[in-house]
Amino acid sequence: MLRDRRDECLVLDRLIEDIRGGESRALVLRGDAGAGKSALLDYLADQAAGLHVVRAAGVQAEMELAYAALHMVCTAMLGQLGRLPGPQRDALATAFGLDEGSPPDRFLIGLGVLGLLAEAGQDQPLLCIIDDAQWLDHASAQALAFVARRLIAESVAVVFAVRAPYPMQDLIGISELDVPGLPEQDARLLLRSALGGPIDERVASRLIAETRGNPLALLELPRGFTPTELASGFATSRSSTLPARIEESFQRQLEPLSPATRLLLLVAAAEPVGDAVLVRRAATVMGLAHQAGAVSAEGLVEIGALVRFRHPLVRSAIYAAATPDERRRVHAALAEATAPGADPDRRAWHIAQATQGWNEEVAQELERSAARAQARGGPAAAAAFLERAAELTPDARRRGERALEAAEAKHQAGLPEAALTLLAVAQAGPLEQLDRARAALLRGQIAFTQHRGRNAPSLLLRAAQQLEPLDVKLARETFLDALLAAMFAGRLASQASVREIAEAARLAPASLDPPDAADQLLDGLAVRFTDGYAPAVPQLRRAIEAFNRPELSIKELRWLWLALITAGNLWDEQTLDTERHVRIARETGALETLPLALTSRVGSLVLVGELAQAAALLDELRAVASATGIPYASYGALLLAAWQGREREAIALIEETTTEIMQRGEGFGLVLTGVARAVLYNGLGRYVDALSAAEHASKQPPAMGVEPWQAHVEIIEAATRSGRHERAQDSLVELRKSTQATGTEWGLGIEARCRALLSDGQEAQLAFEEAIERLGRTRIRGELARAQLLFGEWLRRHNRRSEARTPLRAAHERFVAMGMQAFAQRTAGELLATGGAVRKVTAEKATELTAQEEQIARLVREGLPNAEIAARLFISPRTVEWHLGKVFTKLGITSRRQLRRG
């Protein structure tokens, strides 16, 4: 009976109406145990006539089995798998054990489930109800939360019930409906309805106050007291927390039952999915089959087609009341009743719970379950199996190995604190030398994941040195990890410097296999940070060529972004193909690397002057980050704002990023923030501020393949405009070390432009003309326009105003076309000073498209089909079609062809 739940029921009624009307909804019901969440879910299901209703529930004992709950949700829809894109279909088939394949990316799983639910919603509005979400297995919780956030127009609703005070980080940000206790009047009515006799008013008032009107507590707590206790006012409870008190009440109801009945109840409580057939088999094994009628008669559990407890707290109360020996007996019976081929992982888990003391055979079975979990893309489940396997392992060395493997799986699952706990267990035992080195590597990787810089370089360096005599390939990969960490940390590294790690890497043995792209990159960077820039150029170019091969391994893909940054560092625009990185990340399903690939792509688009495309890609990057929960660095956004000349936005981003940099120990970012500030101020004509920012950036050590040469370029412009020619000359000397060593049109064009600023007369004019000619042969349009602006300024200052108009007009047109507002305004001022006219920029007609609609329209113009747009933006194809309908209406068109023409 739902007392005083009118407001909650109205919310649920509107949710049903919305999905019947073609919209999608996600909702979290949050409240204490017994607050009535399950009753509200029952009400929701009752109102869903004509809808396809799917129900599932988290089970505490199932939390270690990857995708257990997700499989319950999707089972009835698996016939739709064939309608999904290949990568999503394969990922789901692997995760659910329907097919074998590489461990699927968790975001492909999420996209697959989103597509599956969207397809089901096309045939009939779909309502997914997830009770006790706090007990979902980690992989299922991530996938279902991912789907809930991406639902828009699929006629699908996902409703979770979560017990307070469990935080459920995965569900944060989804709309919530608080389910509080009942008001006093309704609570008193409910309490009296549950009693068969009188109750002391003081007892009633105390129960209502202490339970805060919790319906289940009001119904169940009195059952634990005698009529005399209730009537006399002397009823007491031993527990302090409400869930514990409710469990205590249920446990009191168990006391009058026979030992055999209680044991059968324990069988039902220990079987996690409500499989009545399995419970009956286990009961038969224990000689308890005749007790089924007695169990149902008690009203605590119903054993029919499924096993249903009156409340989840009944299950936990029964399990908690049992002795350890009784639990082991029951798990042993459940294991015996489970066919090995039907569900080997649950069988292994039951056997493990039934085992006391050391048992290598059981530990090996758990190890096999861990391998299956890893293959399905469930590292958290694999870690749980391995952790229990370690506890059962009699041999101390093998126990440490399994604890180390569990720690590695925890790290892979994104649980660094749990990984560190298991790592401490592993390192406390007698590990082999290779395992000690792996443990050191894992500690360094966790430090890098958590904090980026500071301690990670020294930890990874020590791990690489330990690995040298044991595993040359892994040692070299670890040296590259250590170099990367040191480049990230820059001057904020606590111990090992880039140079120290580079020197150690040069002393490391060469790979026994033919060197791959990562080997060559390591060798080139090691030379760069020991012998200097010029000696490293040939080796680094060979490394970049290796990364340009059509086929890259997964490990090589991991380093591709660093190779691309290195290409930019070598002034090599021809191999600065960041679009390929994004494409490969999408095609291979390596979605964890996608935010980094998109960030690199934004940076390269800014370099070539495609600022509008960079801005659109930033929207996509934010969508990816929102969908995946993977944070992204704001470097691309702040560089874009600086080149666009949006002072307020750029400064806010720079200051915010600088704070984050100092917190993370990510010192390389100080180069980028300094350069961004200098570009912004040079565009605004604030040369003293630009000089200060650029000088700060130039003093940072080379980091992550990003040299401070861009800082020297900005110094030269700002210093010459501020009368600091000697300072500019010093920076030109530093700049020429890289431009002369590489000899590219980009680098030599920039050098000629900077040389012109420090020259006079004919020499300056020839240098400007050389800069414009060389940069004109590149894609670096922003720097070309800046060369034309500087040449025009030089001509005007030498009273050659009519000649100045030509380069100034060309620069102004380019700046306007690229959206570089500050530089465009600076150029317009120069043009007016020459007596020239400034062409007015006609604002485009506002279409009032939302950011999401703009993204979809842009991708349609690029020729992408709905399925690919959906995968790229982490939404369903149906939502793409829904947005397109709005785009067509706003733009006054009726087809994709018209949109592409526009």
Task: Give 224-264 pLDDT, tens digit per residue.
Answer: 565 655 555 544 555 456 667 777 777 877 888 888 888 98
Residue 208 has pLDDT above 80, yes or no: no
Residue 90 has pLDDT above 70, yes or no: yes
CB 421 within 8 A of CB 387: no
**Which has more confidence, 891 or 847?**
891
Q: What are the C-alpha distances in Å from 490 to residues 240, 328, 705, 715?
A: 52, 55, 11, 21
What burial letters (b/e) apply to 635-673, b meaning 16+ CB within 10 Å? Answer: bbbbbbbbbbbbbebbbebbeebbeebeebbbbbbbbbb
Which of 125-139, 375-389, 653-667 is the most confident on average?
125-139
Q: Distance between CA atoms of 681 and 689, rounded to whole angstroms?
A: 6
Quick one: pLDDT at residue 845? 44
CB 596 within 8 A of CB 586: no
- Kindly report the pTM of this predicted structure: 0.76
Q: Distance between CA atoms of 694 and 612, rounded to whole angstroms?
A: 26
Distance of CA 681 to the CA centre of its chain: 35
Q: Distance between CA atoms of 177 and 28, rounded to whole angstroms?
A: 6
Q: What are the C-alpha distances in Å from 850 to residues 271, 446, 464, 875, 886?
A: 50, 39, 49, 16, 10
Residue 400 carries which side chain, given as an amino acid letter? G
Which of 19-28, 74-83, 114-123 is the most confident on average?
19-28
Quick one: pLDDT at residue 451? 67
Q: Which of 74-78, 326-330, 495-499 has the lowest mean pLDDT?
A: 495-499
The count of C-alpha atoms lying within 13 angstroms of the C-alpha of 391, restricted to the half-sphere facing its C-beta, is 13
- In 10 A of CB 510, how many CB atoms? 10
- Cβ-Cβ contacts under 8 Å for 367 (sequence gap 6 or more): 385, 386, 389, 402
DSSP assignment of 833-886, as one string? HTT---PPPPPPPP----HHHHHHHHHHHTT--HHHHHHHHTS-HHHHHHHHHH
Mean pLDDT score, 776-802: 95
Instruction: Supply the DSSP symbol for 77.
Output: G
Confidence class for position 101, pLDDT limits 50, 70, 90:
confident
Residue 212 has pLDDT above 80, yes or no: no
Mean pLDDT score, 35-53: 92
Residue 437 has pLDDT above 70, yes or no: yes
**Which has more confidence, 404 or 843?**
404
Q: Which of 126-135, 214-223, 586-595 has the lowest mean pLDDT?
A: 586-595
Confidence class for position 852, pLDDT limits 50, 70, 90:
confident
Residue 581 carries which side chain, given as an amino acid letter? H
Copy the structure tokens of residue 89: 């279909």
CB 451 within 8 A of CB 663: no
Confidence class for position 61, pLDDT limits 50, 70, 90:
low
Quick one: pLDDT at residue 308? 80
- Of 564, 514, 571, nearest in space to 537 by CA: 571
Q: Distance between CA atoms of 9 and 103, rounded to whole angstroms?
A: 42
Q: Tell me what percent of the residues of the chain surpass a pLDDT of 70.
A: 90
Mean pLDDT score, 419-447: 92
Mean pLDDT score, 64-79: 85
Q: Distance between CA atoms of 23 and 19, rounded to whole angstroms?
A: 5
Q: Distance between CA atoms of 408 and 463, rounded to whole angstroms?
A: 15
Quick one: pLDDT at residue 117? 92
Quick one: pLDDT at residue 331? 94
The string of pLDDT tens digits covering residues 674-705 is 999 999 999 999 999 999 999 999 888 776 55
What burial letters (b/e) apply to 195-220, b meaning 16+ CB within 10 Å? Answer: beeebeeebbeebbeebebbbbbbbb
Confidence class for position 670, pLDDT limits 50, 70, 90:
confident
Residue 352 has pLDDT above 60, yes or no: yes
Q: Which of 115-129, 328-342, 616-630 has the lowest mean pLDDT?
A: 616-630
761: left (phi > 0), else alpha (psi -120 to 50), else beta? Answer: left
Quick one: pLDDT at residue 80? 85
CB 407 within 8 A of CB 442: yes
Confidence class for position 1, pLDDT limits 50, 70, 90:
very low
Task: Tell me phi and psi for residue 309, to 5 degrees.
Answer: -90, 150
| Sheet hosting strand 176-178, strand order edge to edge | 52-57, 126-131, 156-163, 25-31, 176-178
Q: Please state, rounded to an integer, the average pLDDT across all residues of the chain.
A: 86
Quick one: pLDDT at residue 592? 63
Residue 843 has pLDDT above 60, yes or no: no
Distance of CA 405 to the CA centre of its chain: 23
> What's the sign of the alpha-carbon dihedral 813, 819, 823, 825?
positive
Q: Tell me what percent of the residues of the chain surpass a pLDDT of 90.
A: 43
Task: Tell me phi and psi for residue 656, to 5 degrees.
Answer: -65, -45
Q: Distance between CA atoms of 427 and 440, rounded to whole angstroms?
A: 9
Residue 456 carries which side chain, given as an amino acid letter? A
Q: Which of 243-257, 428-442, 736-750 has the lowest mean pLDDT?
A: 243-257
Which of 59-73, 175-189, 466-480, 539-553 is the most confident on average?
466-480
Residue 351 has pLDDT above 80, yes or no: yes
Residue 703: helix, strand or coil by DSSP?
Answer: strand
- Compute the residue count for the chain: 902
- Cβ-Cβ contacts under 8 Å for 475 (sequence gap 6 or more): 464, 465, 467, 468, 508, 509
**Degrees to nearest 5, angle at CA 753 with 749 and 756:** 135
Which of 84-93, 492-501, 537-546, 618-627 is the most confident on average?
537-546
- Of 366, 315, 323, nearest in space to 60 by CA: 315
**Which has more confidence, 897 or 177?**
177
Residue 292 has pLDDT above 80, yes or no: no
- In 10 A of CB 623, how many CB atoms? 19
Residue in the block written with tokens 């500690």: 443
Mean pLDDT score, 489-513: 85
Quick one: pLDDT at residue 846? 45
Q: Distance between CA atoms of 396 and 392, rounded to whole angstroms?
A: 10
Instruction: Supply the DSSP symbol for 629.
Output: -
Which of 282-296, 547-561, 649-663, 702-716 is the most confident on average?
649-663
CB 815 within 8 A of CB 823: yes
Copy the structure tokens of residue 111: 């996209």
Mean pLDDT score, 167-184: 85
Which residues on adjacent β-strands are paired with residue 56? 130
Q: Distance between CA atoms of 303 and 778, rounded to whole angstroms?
A: 75
Residue in the block written with tokens 């500071």: 454
Q: What are the C-alpha distances in Å from 609 to residues 228, 287, 605, 644, 781?
A: 84, 78, 6, 10, 5
Q: Distance between CA atoms of 631 and 660, rounded to whole angstroms?
A: 12
Mean pLDDT score, 446-464: 84
Quick one: pLDDT at residue 359? 95
**Degrees to nearest 5, angle at CA 361 with 360 and 367:** 85
Instruction: Supply the DSSP symbol for 101.
Output: -
Q: Distance between CA atoms of 477 and 554, rounded to whole angstroms?
A: 13
Residue 765 has pLDDT above 70, yes or no: yes
**Which has more confidence, 455 or 805?**
805
Helical spans, DSSP H, in 271-412: 276-285, 292-297, 312-321, 324-337, 344-354, 360-375, 379-392, 396-412
Mean pLDDT score, 519-531: 93
Mean pLDDT score, 538-556: 85
CB 775 within 8 A of CB 787: yes
Quick one: pLDDT at residue 313? 75
Confidence class for position 14, pLDDT limits 50, 70, 90:
very high
- Cβ-Cβ contacts under 8 Å for 57 (sequence gap 6 or more): 69, 130, 131, 132, 135, 312
